[in-house]
Amino acid sequence: MSFHRSILSTAIAVASFTTTNLHAQTADGAIEEITITARKRDEAYVDAPVTVTVFTEDEVEAAGIETPADFIALTPNVTLVQVQNAGNSFVTARGISQNRNTEMSVAVLMDGVLMVNPAQFNQELFDIQQIEVLKGPQGALYGRNAIGGAITVTTREPSDFTEGAIRVGYDSGEGYRAQGYISGPLNEDGTLKYRASLSRKDVKGYLDNPYLGEKADPYEDTSARLRFIWDPSDTFRADLRFYVSQLDTQALYYNIRESAPAPFPGAPAAFGRDNGYPNSVNDTSLPIRVNNPGVNERDLSNVSLKLDWDFANGTLTSITSYDTLEELLTGDAWDFLPTDEAVVPTFFGFPDQNQSQYLDVEAVSQEIRWTSPSENRLRWIAGAYMVQTDRFISTGNMVDTGQGVFPVYRQPRGNFPFDFATDFINPQITYLADSQDNFAWAVFGELAYDLTDNTEVALSVRYDDDERENTTLTPTAFLPNVPGFPQGFTGEVRTKSWDEWQPKFTIRHKPNDLLSVYGTVSRGFRSGGFNQTGVGGVAFANGFLGVGDTFDAEVVDTWEAGVKGQSADGRVRANLSMFTSQAEGTYFFIFLAANSTQNLGNFGKVDYSGFELDVVANLTDYVSMNFGYGHVNSEIKESLTARDIGDRAPNVSKYTMNAGLDFRTPAPSIGTGVEAFLRLDYQIIGDTAFFDNNQADTNDRDPVHLLDFRAGVELPDDWTVTLWGKNALDEEYNTEYSTGGFVFKALPARYGLDFTKRF
């Protein structure tokens, strides 16, 4: 506690400064001014009354940001829980988290286009111009699911002249990485420009599976982006963007902890045996031993068109987007042990199991907004948004006959019960399938007014309505109907809608050009959804309360105060913000081993409070540093399960700390025209709470310490050579613990060498 008090004292001492994560310098050594778009208009960082961490193009390159995990590691009070498959990584922002099959805790926009499904988030980042991480509810402008904040990613725009770059490199995962782009004008007057970018990564993996004698996590990703910008006049602009991504990896390589609490009544004594289970979430001693490597295949595509018309009294913007997502994962099933060691045969009387899950999403979205000129004393934004989503999901377990795992898409393998007559290879034991037809719409607006030259007040408000229709496609024989509960049937249609007003009031005062103080009161809203048909009865029969066929929406009210500023010489900037939030309907995750389903429930109320501090300083003309610290208190106030009350909320880390040192200087001793650079980033993720029905303190993970580095030289003729390392101290830890004793290993130390040529 004394450490936290000293951090808070330091925060108060530097509260007259402000921060970005930018290390670029002007000629006089000042930190370069940056522009952000947190309020959907261009603003200077110090003028925007919002807590935001910004990564510019220079910072993205210097820090080696290539995935969401990379920039999240540099952002106070934001963490990422990486779990069973590529599409299921959970962002926690100021304690507000997510889980499997839920909406995200933050709204994510790529070039102004809102991601429609959380499975899109964990993707390769390449050819990036800027990343902004906004904290606190941002629903007034960004809509439902911006309950913990918003993340905006901007790719590089097409250039006015022909240019390009190629980067190739070796990865210690026994593979290679390659990226490249080419850009320039397509016509003589330069009004039509293009940019084409490509990313390719192919590695054998980092985590050993000694049972199979291979790596558990091979990774192969190919992603491409093509962007056109047409500027035929000063008053019109069109921005057309295409994106595709194909990922091929593996998933579901869990371990189960020792003395894991039985996930259902009457589980055998073998659940508590001592020969082959990790002792706690902190136990990383056991190797991965799944006998089915399985697959994780994900295909993403997006096409979007952004149109801007400039008029004397404002700008009209239209954003149209079409997204597709298809993800298949197969692999071992609970208890993720080889067949001859599995618990399941001793209890159920049939062989070991494997599993298959399939997700197919198609969405069309449209946003229209009107934005007034930024120089007006009274400024406004008014707009509307809609998204139509079609979603299919199937999950199920099969008998493991030792012949591998077979993917299951829209039909089960055989009849119920497991039908060896129809399909001797991997007959289906459990199978659930649902389709959803969802339509969400919103209207939003903001009024900002300068009371004086130094004081601004702003009121934003948004109304979101989310209507969902779920159709049961599970064959009736496979439905887990429980006596005393509603009986599901094939073709059953369930409808549900959630709606909410999301207001935000802001006041900002600038005593002088170097200091800004702000306060906000805001509401965030995240839609509810459907668990798969019939799981409510199964959950109740197995002792889990608060889990039904439907989970409810979540609403968070937040009060925040912040101060940001810079020193007179522009060499130091800092930001301090404090917040308190009250949430109703916070999600929690439950795995039901009885039918191998992943389900969501709701707590009644959860309270959060905390603070963040960011500092950036240019120590010399060639050396800069950054420091960030965030602290979050969380407490479950209401729950149908009484023993949950008083616990911390799921996936919440008590604190995060990140510190970086960036050194760059001309090095004549190396050779004329050669420049050397070194970047060190150290991160601590504090004690992290994982939820398991309040079974034991061993669900809290100890603090994690991570070190990344980048070092290299810039050579004549635009060549760069970079040696890099991630988790260079080889910290061993589990990224997740979930109900039933599942633990998922984090990646070990990784290293690489890159060669970049610009032309």
Q: 741 vs 98, 378, 642, CA distance in Å? A: 19, 56, 21
Residue 365, pLDDT > 90, answer yes
What number is the average pLDDT over the span 108-126? 90
> 725: which strand partners?
709, 751
Q: Are 79 and 97 in contact (CB under 8 A)?
A: no
For residues 315 and 219, give the distance between their C-alpha atoms in angstroms, rounded to a whole number. 43
What number is the average pLDDT over the span 215-229? 96
What number is the average pLDDT over the span 470-482? 89
Phi/psi for 174 (5° steps) reads: 60, 65
Sorted by sequence, the CB contacts under 8 Å of residue 553 that are 6+ apart come out as 498, 500, 525, 526, 527, 528, 585
Is the residue at 668 inside a domain? yes
pLDDT band at 560 (very low <50, low <70, confident <90, very high): very high
For residues 97 and 81, give the distance between their C-alpha atoms in angstroms, rounded to a whole number. 9
What number is the average pLDDT over the span 350-359? 84
Residue 17, pLDDT > 60, answer no
Is the residue at 418 inside a domain? yes
Residue 698, pLDDT > 60, answer no
Q: What is the pLDDT of residues 662-695, one digit of tens each?
A: 998 865 555 567 889 999 999 999 999 887 654 4
pLDDT band at 5 (very low <50, low <70, confident <90, very high): very low
How many percent of the chain have pLDDT more than 70?
89
Is the residue at 243 inside a domain? yes
User: What angle is formed at CA 46 by the lines to CA 314 and CA 443, rounded to 5 degrees?
Assistant: 40
Q: What is the pLDDT of residues 327-353, one digit of tens each?
A: 999 999 877 888 777 665 444 455 688
What number is the average pLDDT over the span 626-632? 95
651 dihedral zone (left: phi>0; alpha: psi -120 to 50; beta): left
Residue 259, pLDDT > 80, answer no
60 dihedral zone (left: phi>0; alpha: psi -120 to 50; beta): alpha
For residues 655 and 736, give the distance between their C-alpha atoms in angstroms, rounded to a whole number. 17
- Residue 596's pLDDT is 64
Is the residue at 234 inside a domain? yes
Domain count within the chain:
1
In this predicted structure, which of 437-451, 531-545, 600-614, 632-646 has the lowest mean pLDDT?
531-545
CATH of the domain at 433: 2.40.170.20
pLDDT band at 249 (very low <50, low <70, confident <90, very high): very high
Is the residue at 3 inside a domain? no
Is the residue at 403 inside a domain? yes
Q: 735 vs 74, 284, 319, 513, 743, CA distance in Å? A: 17, 11, 36, 43, 7
Is the residue at 1 inside a domain? no
What number is the average pLDDT over the span 117-145? 90
What number is the average pLDDT over the span 698-718? 90
How many percent of the chain have pLDDT more than 90?
55
Specify the higher pLDDT residue, 716 or 591: 716
Is the residue at 2 inside a domain? no
Residue 453, pLDDT > 60, answer yes
The pLDDT mean for the chain works out to 86
Domain extent at residue 247 = 12-758
pLDDT band at 567 (very low <50, low <70, confident <90, very high): confident
- Residue 667's pLDDT is 57
For residues 233 and 238, give the distance between their C-alpha atoms in angstroms, rounded to a whole number. 11
Q: Of 95-99, 262-266, 361-365, 596-600, where does the model show the most confidence?
A: 361-365
Strands (E), 144-290: 149-155, 163-171, 175-185, 192-203, 208-209, 214-215, 219-233, 236-249, 255-256
In this predicted structure, which of 186-195, 236-245, 730-739 has the lowest mean pLDDT?
730-739
For residues 576 and 671, give the distance between their C-alpha atoms in angstroms, rounded to a whole number. 43
